[in-house]
Amino acid sequence: MTRRIRTLTRDGLTFDVLDEGPIEGDVVVLLHGFPERATSWRHVAPLLHAAGLRTLALDQRGYSERARPSGRRAYRLTELVDDVAALIERVGGSVHVVGHDWGAAVAWGLAARRPVLVRSLTAVSVPHPAAFQKAVLTSPQGLRSWYMLLFQAPYVVELAARRRGGPFDLGLASAGMTREEVARCRREVVDTGALTGGLSWYRAIPFVDRELATQHTTVPTTFVWSDGDTAIDRRGAELTESYVDAPYSFVELAGVTHWIPTQAPEQLASAVLDRVWSV
C-alpha cells in the first residue's frame, strides 16, 4: 500500500513534506523559492489534485526546522539537488517536477544531474542557469540582480527583516507581493528563523558547479515567465529554449508579477497539466 510521505531524512537532516492529492496519482514534486515555503503552492496543488495528480511539496534545506545546517557550503546547488533526488527515490520511479524561483534553479539542476528521475520539468520564473548567466552579460538582468550582492553580506538582511514594515517587507512589496503575501512570508520564514537558511542559497552561489549550471536539459520542459517580473529580464526567458534538447514550451503570463504560484495559480496549473499530459 502506498503511504503518505510526511518527512524525508538525508545526511542527518529531516525535511518536512506536504503530501496531498490522490495517493495513487502520478506524482508532481513542487519546489518553492525564496523567501517562501511549501505553502506557496497552496492555490496550485488543489488544481493538480482535481486532475488526478498527487503532489509532494518539500520544505527545502534551510526552511525545514530540522534541516538548517550551518555554513554556506552546505547550501551548494548540488546539495539542494540531491535533497530532491532523495525524495524522488523515496517515491520510486520518475516524477514530474515543478519549481518556482530558486526552486526552478534546483529543478534545472536536477534535470541536468539526475534526468532519469524527471519525467517532465516545469520551471517557473527563473530561466535555465546558462541562459540567466548570458542574460546578465547582455541585458538589464545584471542590474535587476543587484540584490544578490546585498544578500552576500552576513546579517544585513536578517537585521533589516527584524522590523515589521521595514526595508525587508518593503522590498518584497516592491517586487509585487501583496500585503497578505508579505505577512505570510514574515510568519513562515522570518518569525520561524528560516531567513538565514534561505539567504544561504544566495551565499553559496560562489561554490556553484559550473558544469552543472551549463549542462543542457534533456527532459520535456515548459518554462513559465511573467512580464511583470521585476527580478527576471525577458532576455533570459528568450534564451532558455536554446539550452533544452527536448520538447519545449514557453508560456508568458501578461500582467503578472514574479509571484506566479500565488497570483496566477490557474494559469500555472494549466501549463503544468499541459506538460504532464504531453509525456
Known catalytic membership, residue 147: no
Question: To which residue does cell 546539495 refer?
Answer: 79
Q: Which of 19, 82, 101, 233 is catalytic?
A: 101
Active-site annotation holder among 96, 100, 128, 258: 258
Amino acid at 227: D
CA 266 to chain centre: 18
Q: Could you confirm whether 258 is annotated as catalytic?
A: yes
Question: Considering 202, 229, 233, 243, which one is annotated as catalytic?
Answer: 202
Give yes or no: 59 in active site: no
**Which strands sit side by side in the sheet containing 54-58, from one edge to the other?**
7-10, 13-20, 54-58, 27-31, 95-100, 118-124, 221-226, 248-253
- Across 237-263, b (16+ Cβ under 10 Å) vs e yields bbbbeebbeeebbbbebeebbbbbbbb
Q: Which 3 state secondary structure label does DSSP give 237?
A: helix
Task: Tell me the helices (H) and strands (E) count for the chain, helix number first.
Answer: 14, 8
Measure Cα distances from 221 to 15, 112, 152, 242 in Å: 27, 12, 31, 12
Residues serving a catalytic function are 101, 202, 258
